[in-house]
Structure 1
Amino acid sequence: MNKWKKGLKTPVEKIRISETDVANYCTFIGESSALYKDKAYAIKCGYEGIPLPYTYASLFWQKLSIPWLANDDPVILVEQNFSYDFPLICGITYDISMELTNVRRIREQLFLYHTLTVLLDGIKQMTMKTTLLYEEQPT
């Protein structure tokens, strides 16, 4: 069954990250910068509020329904990179969606290339490109 087709897209979802979410994430990853805890400091640094750490967007996958990855088959993260046009800020509601941008088969392995896009009022804020290795299970 070939359920992986280039161009598949998720529905757009709304996401809003709280300052508490960012504080918890920073504690988990060991980030101690005041930039992610102190709104006045973040504003002094030129942000509109507390910014999300650059890698926080990797959690956005959890907010999306991704039909082509709906089963429990194992995947391995091969590569992930982030490209920001604007910083993401706590308390702002963004639109997020995911597209399967390419599928490449090498023997029994599939490389699935994804692009997650974050928009604010229709303007792209950032993209995250992720490559997953999917090893098909024998039937």
Structure 2
Amino acid sequence: MIDKKWIGAKTDWIPITVTSKQIEQFCQTIDEKNPLYLDKHAAKKAGYEDILLPPTYPILFWQRLKIPWLIGDFTMIQSEQSFSYKQTLIANKRYHCQIDLKKLRTRGKQQFIVHRLSIVDKDKLAATSDTTMVLRYTEE
């Protein structure tokens, strides 16, 4: 089980750049057809410098971060997720990301954890995503 000492812990900051091709693949997966996510000309016409990341795309940033407190023999179930944007995220731009453990509650062989993914653009907070997960531990 995750020890309460991890509350407030943060991962290292990592750089992330999402390519147009990665966004296109994501849009195919979720059957997204909005031209702002797929067509650079449509995005430029709307005032953006490149295509936009769909609002839920940052969940994939988790795959790139090493989260030292998420080790052990458990099943992880996502129960809630929210996104908050200070600015629109766009393709081919370098962002920096970090995850921190905000809350931890234990009930029997389950733990409820809340993480915040922070996305920064040139030292300015661009977006956050709060994710609540349930960890179910196997019997020993």
State whether TM-score is above 0.5. yes
Please, what TM-score do these two structures have when normalized by structure 1? 0.94
Query: Structure 1: how far apart are the matches of 2:37 and 2:19?
Result: 11
* Equivalent residue number for residue 68 of structure 1: 69
Q: Name whichever of 35-44 and 116-125 sits farther off.
A: 35-44
Q: Residues 2 and 56 (structure 1 numbering): CA distance in 2 closer, same or farther, change over 3 Å?
A: closer
Deviations 1:47-87 (A, max 9, x none): 22111000001111001001111345210001000000001
Superposed displacement of residue 9, structure 1? 0.8
Query: Structure 1: how far apart are the matches of 2:40 and 2:99?
Result: 30
Query: Structure 1: how far apart are the matches of 2:2 and 2:65?
Result: 21
Give ranges in structure 1 of 5+ residues lacking alignment: none
Alignment map for 1:1-139 (pairs within 5 Å) = 2-4=2-4, 5-71=6-72, 73-139=74-140
Superposed displacement of residue 111, structure 1? 0.3
Q: Which amino acid aligns with 1:55?
A: T
The DSSP-based 3-state class of the residue aligned with 1:99 is strand
Please, what TM-score do these two structures have when normalized by structure 2? 0.93
Q: Structure 1 segments of 4 or more deviating over 3 A? A: 1-4
Query: Structure 1: how far apart are the matches of 2:29 and 2:119?
Result: 23
Contact residue 2 and residue 69 of structure 2 kept, 8 A:
no
Query: Structure 2: how far apart are the matches of 1:91 and 1:36?
Result: 12
Identity of aligned residues (%): 36
Give ranges in structure 2 of 5+ residues lacking alignment: none
Query: Structure 2: how far apart are the matches of 1:121 and 1:61?
Result: 20
Give the RMSD, CA atoms, in angstroms: 1.3
Query: Structure 1: how far apart are the matches of 2:116 and 2:91?
Result: 22
Query: Structure 2: how far apart are the matches of 1:7 and 1:137?
Result: 26
